Amino acid sequence: MKVAVVGLGHIGLPLAVQYASRGHTVVGCDVDARIVETLNRGQSPHEDEAALVERVPQLVADGRLRATTDDAAGVRESEVVVIIVPVVVDEARRVDFSHIDAATRELARGLQPGTLVIYETTLPIGTTRTRLGPMLEEGSGLRAGEDFHLAFSPERVLVGRVLLDLARYPKIVGGTTEEATRRAVAFYESALEPGTEIRALASAEAAEMTKLAETTYRDVNIALANEFAQVAARRGIDVTEIIAAANSQPYSHIHQPGVGVGGHCIPVYPHLLFSAEPDMHIPPAARAVNDGMAAFAVGLLGDALGSLAGVDVLVLGIGYRGDVHEDFFSSAFGLRDALVARGARVFGHDPYFDDEHIRRRGFEPYDLAAPVPVRAAILQAAHGAYRDLDFRAIPGLEIVLDGRNALDRGRVEAAGLRYIGVGR
Ligand SMILES: NC(=O)c1ccc[n+]([C@@H]2O[C@H](COP(=O)([O-])OP(=O)(O)OC[C@H]3O[C@@H](n4cnc5c(N)ncnc54)[C@H](O)[C@@H]3O)[C@@H](O)[C@H]2O)c1
């Protein structure tokens, strides 16, 4: 089949490579001319996965994969259109549809009768049918469910291992009509690895809610672990011991506490769910708990040092998670704000970001090779580079706050330092 993938980002490019690898002829559409030119030169525009770098040259040389900046032209020649352009939230966590609206209006101009259109971007419930469908109809003059087929299928993969995850997670599919569901199932059977489970749900709305449910579940579960950690801290109990023991019972799946939850997904998707559901109590409360963990951890540090006024503190890891080169909604920012509010001076270090980036984010860049005195260090992102960090090399250091319960407590204490974990 001829397939258009609209949005050749960290998820869209591996999707295009996957479909082309199964023998489809794929055109990737992206507004970013650099991405399009790089791909058409036969190089992978992203290097997240070794398989992309390996496969793109051959697929392009074979004519199975190419790219265009013209969404409408790519869609005009395609039987299936997969859209994976982001929906984001702003600083106030209001949902911003501008990218997907623009892509939808643009691609609608090229939409042909009989085309199957599948949105894969995580969306609030009902968006495919009631927001994007009418835009496609208006731009094309065609009717959804009659002239073209419209479905939703959430992307559940992780950046860096998309091709692997595509082959091992069931593909959830829901159409706006039974025919759209049937066609979407048939498409994924032909485009994903043989044997991948394709699971048809009753509707596009059910498929939209599935992705919001699985990510909100994780946020709520982490919030519960964080409240357990606060109880444990008050009671002098080690929460990591409690969680390991509780999870030895097969119905208990408690996640891990920490100084907060960052990234594009877990702190974002609950808002896509509950912003339209004012009667929901648990997800908004969980969000507040998780966002409050940075201030809670800084409070522990303040208690241990007496006061943080004028104290130099080092935050290790600006990224939102260990070994990722991305700091979207990172908990490092909550720590920074809570430390500044208590009068501390905040240094930041991250092997994945340069000094200029770290300074722009409001931290004084810190050089571990030429360390200046700080009284406290907080492990925010458990980068591999910090696993064997010799804390004795940091002058003036008295205390280490292990924000991910990832350090070897014995090593920290053997260095003559005080160790505080989250709930330990
Ligand atoms: N990143 C993840 O870990 C992840 C995981 C699961 C699902 N998802 C879903 O995938 C979506 C995309 O994520 P990503 O990481 O690939 O984002 P990304 O920012 O890497 O890529 C998005 C691409 O869309 C392009 N784009 C923007 N407007 C466009 C338009 N009008 N026409 C064509 N292209 C346009 C951008 O230039 C960019 O290349 C997310 O919003 C999310 O719903 C992401």
User: What confidence tens digit (pLDDT) does each residue in 23-51 have?
Assistant: 999 999 999 999 999 999 999 999 889 99
Whether the CB-CB separation of 200 and 185 falls below 8 Å is answered with yes
Whether the CB-CB separation of 232 and 242 falls below 8 Å is answered with yes
Counting from 1 in the atom list of ligand 1, the atom nearest the Cα of 86 is 41
CA of 1 from ligand 1 middle (Å) equals 23
Which residue has its alpha carbon closest to ligand 1 atom 36?
Answer: 7
Alpha-carbon distance of 130 to 124, in angstroms, equals 11
Q: Which residue has the tokens 């650099």?
A: 34
Q: Which has the higher per-residue pLDDT, 2 or 93?
A: 2
Give, for ligand 1, the residue of 85, 119, 153, 271 to mutate: max count of ligand atoms closer than 8 Å to Cβ.
85
Alpha-carbon distance of 122 to 136, in angstroms, equals 18
Summarize the confidence of residues 11-31 as an average pLDDT. 98
Which residue has its alpha carbon closest to ligand 1 atom 25?
Answer: 7
List the structure tokens of 236.
């002098």
Which residue has its alpha carbon closest to ligand 1 atom 30?
Answer: 103
CA of 29 from ligand 1 middle (Å) equals 12
What pLDDT is recorded for position 115?
Answer: 98
Alpha-carbon distance of 400 to 4, in angstroms, equals 50
Whether the CB-CB separation of 26 and 20 falls below 8 Å is answered with yes
Q: How many Å separate Cα 368 from the centre of its chain?
A: 29
Residue 235: pLDDT band with limits 50, 70, 90: very high
Summarize the confidence of residues 351-362 as an average pLDDT. 98
Q: Give the amino acid at 124.
A: P
Q: What is the pLDDT of residues 359-373, one digit of tens each?
A: 999 999 999 999 999
Closest CA to 105 of 31, 38, 168, 185: 31
Phi-psi map region of 418: left, alpha, beta (phi>0 left; psi -120 to 50 alpha): beta
Alpha-carbon distance of 330 to 321, in angstroms, equals 8
Summarize the confidence of residues 57-66 as an average pLDDT. 98
CA of 94 from ligand 1 middle (Å) equals 18
What pLDDT is recorded for position 190?
Answer: 98
Which residue has its alpha carbon closest to ligand 1 atom 15?
Answer: 10
Alpha-carbon distance of 248 to 267, in angstroms, equals 28
CA of 55 from ligand 1 middle (Å) equals 21
What pLDDT is recorded for position 267?
Answer: 95
Alpha-carbon distance of 415 to 418, in angstroms, equals 9
Give, for ligand 1, the residue of 18, 71, 162, 264 to mutate: max count of ligand atoms closer than 8 Å to Cβ.
264
Average pLDDT, the chain: 97
Which residue has its alpha carbon closest to ligand 1 atom 20?
Answer: 9
Whether 411 shows a pLDDT value over 90: the answer reads yes
Q: How many CA atoms lie within 13 A of 263 on its CB side?
A: 18
Give, for ligand 1, the residue of 84, 109, 128 to mutate: max count of ligand atoms closer than 8 Å to Cβ.
84
Counting from 1 in the atom list of ligand 1, the atom nearest the Cα of 13 is 16
Whether 91 shows a pLDDT value over 90: the answer reads no
What pLDDT is recorded for position 48?
Answer: 83
CA of 12 from ligand 1 middle (Å) equals 7
Whether 272 shows a pLDDT value over 90: the answer reads yes
What pLDDT is recorded for position 52?
Answer: 95
Counting from 1 in the atom list of ligand 1, the atom nearest the Cα of 11 is 16
Summarize the confidence of residues 145-150 as an average pLDDT. 98
Whether 17 shows a pLDDT value over 90: the answer reads yes
Q: Which of the residues are catalytic?
A: 211, 265
Whether the CB-CB separation of 159 and 13 falls below 8 Å is answered with no
SS (H, E, C) the chain: CEEEEECCCCCHHHHHHHHHHCCCEEEEECCCHHHHHHHHCCCCCCCCCHHHHHHHHHHHHCCCEEEECCHHHHHHCCCEEEECCCCEECCCCCEECHHHHHHHHHHHCCCCCCCEEEECCCCCCCHHHHHHHHHHHHHHCCCECCCEEEEECCCCCCCCCHHHHHHHCCEEEEECCHHHHHHHHHHHHHHCCCCCCEEECCCHHHHHHHHHHHHHHHHHHHHHHHHHHHHHHHHCCCHHHHHHHHCCCCCCCCCCCCCCCCCCCCCCHHHHHHCCCCCCCHHHHHHHHHHCHHHHHHHHHHHHHCCCCCCEEEEECCCCCCCCCCCCCCHHHHHHHHHHHCCCEEEEECCCCCHHHHHHCCCEECCCCCCCCCCEEEECCCCHHHCCCCHHHCCCCCEEEECCCCCCHHHHHHCCCEEEECCC
| Cα-Cα end-to-end distance for the chain | 56
Whether the CB-CB separation of 174 and 200 falls below 8 Å is answered with yes
Alpha-carbon distance of 304 to 209, in angstroms, equals 44
What pLDDT is recorded for position 405?
Answer: 97
Counting from 1 in the atom list of ligand 1, the atom nearest the Cα of 155 is 7
Whether the CB-CB separation of 275 and 287 falls below 8 Å is answered with no
CA of 354 from ligand 1 middle (Å) equals 24
Burial class (CB in 10 A: 0-12, 13-18, 19+), 195: exposed
Give, for ligand 1, the residue of 11, 152, 273 to mutate: max count of ligand atoms closer than 8 Å to Cβ.
11
Counting from 1 in the atom list of ligand 1, the atom nearest the Cα of 121 is 43
Pocket of ligand 1 (CB under 6 A): 6-12, 29-32, 35, 71, 84-87, 99, 102-103, 106, 121-122, 155, 157-159, 264-265
Q: What is the pLDDT of residues 181-234, one digit of tens each?
A: 999 999 999 999 999 999 999 999 999 999 999 999 999 999 999 999 999 999
What pLDDT is recorded for position 159?
Answer: 86
Counting from 1 in the atom list of ligand 1, the atom nearest the Cα of 8 is 39
Summarize the confidence of residues 263-275 as an average pLDDT. 95
Counting from 1 in the atom list of ligand 1, the atom nearest the Cα of 88 is 41
CA of 6 from ligand 1 middle (Å) equals 9
Which residue has its alpha carbon closest to ligand 1 atom 1?
Answer: 159
Whether the CB-CB separation of 302 and 334 falls below 8 Å is answered with no
Q: Residue 224 to residues 252, 261, 285, 287: CA-CA distances in angstroms?
A: 12, 13, 10, 11
CA of 412 from ligand 1 middle (Å) equals 40
